[in-house]
Amino acid sequence: MTTTQTPTGLDELHILWTSEGMSCDGDTVSVTAASLPSLEDVLLGLVPGLPKVHLHNKVLATEVGDAFMAAFHQAHHDELGPFILVVEGSIPNERINGDGYWTSMGNDPATGEPITVNEWIDRLAPKAWAVVAIGTCATYGGIHAMAGNPTGCMGLADYLGKDFRSAGGLPIVNVPGCPVQPDNFMETLTWLLYQAAGMAPTIPLDDLLRPTWLFGKTVHEGCDRGGYYEQGDFAHDYNSPKCLVRVGCWGPVVNCNVPKRGWMDGVGGCPNVGGICIGCTMPGFPDKFMPFMDEPPGGSVSAAFSGAYGSLIRKMRSITNNTANKEPKWRHNRRRLTSGYDP
Ligand code: SF4
Ligand code: SF4
Ligand code: SF4
């Protein structure tokens, strides 16, 4: 556990972060790469105006076993103080768990029995100042909630209901991505921490509970390869700098800022660096985007339109580009001024 310095409003907060849902811990790992701000900067109090923050995340904690679980039990018994609950991983349906349970975190000190993640969410979500779902599993169900899965798992809003409100009066805050783009999560968390400190307005969320400024644009609108699409110039394999729509990119219909933002320190960004967009931030992921690497439905129609228009535009641009690549004819070293200067 790491501690920091403080200003006004809520001046001290815990972050109780469970990745014990149906999860691969990939979002926790991803967030360690954030830099706007970094998790370390928040925990060390290096971001001016933020409350003092205590993080409880099993992957990043130094405590183990009962020592790690203590804060979760204290929060349950109203002995911890204000906290933000971060949920990573999809939520299984424990109503269909047969004779066992799907997933748990810690044991009940009185009985020694495992406490399911669902039980923790029931206990802690209503007491949390804010509840954040990190990654597409926690937000909408994600990979574990594919067709044919046995656990009936779902996103946090499916579990708690879309009308859920935290103790701070907020709906669930969804930051999707598989994994989450690290700075998207840290920027959202930082907004919430400023809001808790009384220094920021209510976080703006869209109908799917995503921060509007992060998920308001499509991949296509921020893609470095957009110029190729517009000129109808398409890649036919992955060894090409051109638009990837014909080899499976879903960017035109996917809400994600990764091509603009990059993955780490501005570097990367799926289609920018040759990876097709498979829609990993989307509520319909993965089923609606499979099989991956097939051309998306509608891709051939829009590509055909843009191919026809684009080949004409490319020809015209090539003529203009040729002209623009030539210097004006009056730039010479002969004995006569031909620039048109007329005193
Ligand atoms: Fe792992 Fe992706 Fe699920 Fe996050 S959203 S827990 S990275 S599978
Ligand atoms: Fe759009 Fe994908 Fe082509 Fe980029 S690679 S321009 S996101 S279709
Ligand atoms: Fe996921 Fe597509 Fe965004 Fe890449 S560009 S992170 S595949 S939604």
Q: Tell me what pLDDT residue 309 has.
A: 83
Residue 183 is encoded by which pair of tokens?
A: 């700075």
Confirm if 88 and 58 have CB atoms less than 8 A apart: no
Q: Which atom of ligand 3 is nearest to the CA of 254?
A: 8
Distances (CA, A) of 31 to 170, 250, 255: 23, 25, 20
Residue ID of nearest Cα to ligand 3 atom 1:
280
Q: Are 68 and 18 in contact (CB under 8 A)?
A: no
- Rounded to two decimals, the ipTM of the complex is 0.99
**For the residues of 205-237, what is the DSSP string, one character each?**
B-TTS-BHHHHSSBTGGG-TTHHHHHTT-B-SS
Q: Are 36 and 264 in contact (CB under 8 A)?
A: no
Low-confidence residues of the chain: pLDDT under 50: 1-8
Ligand 3 contacts (CB < 6 A) are: 177, 219, 254, 256, 258, 270, 277-281
Looking at residue 295, its pLDDT comes to: 85
The reported pLDDT for the residue numbered 312 is: 87
pLDDT at 298: 79
Res 318: pLDDT: 92
**Which pLDDT score is estimated for 310?**
85
CA distance 109 to 273: 50
pLDDT tens digits, one per residue of 135-177: 999 999 999 999 999 999 999 999 999 999 999 999 999 999 9
What domains are defined for the chain?
Answer: 12-214 (3.40.50.700), 220-324 (4.10.480.10)
Per-residue pLDDT tens over the stretch 236-282: 999 999 999 999 999 999 999 999 999 999 999 999 999 999 999 99
Neighbours of 70 (CB within 10 A): 15
CA angle, residues 123, 128, 133, in degrees to nearest 5: 90
Ligand 2 atom, smallest distance to 219 CA: 7
Residue closest by Cα to atom 6 of ligand 1:
23
Return the SS3 of 158.
Answer: helix
Taking Cα atoms as reference points, which of 230, 209, 203, 219 lies closest to residue 276? 219
Helix (H, G, I), strand (E, B) or coil at 29: helix
d(CA 250, CA 302): 12
Mutate-to-test residue for ligand 3 from 280, 285, 289, 290, highest number of ligand atoms within 8 A of CB: 280
Q: Whose CA is nearest to atom 3 of ligand 2?
A: 243
Choose among 285, 283, 261: nearest CA to 185: 261
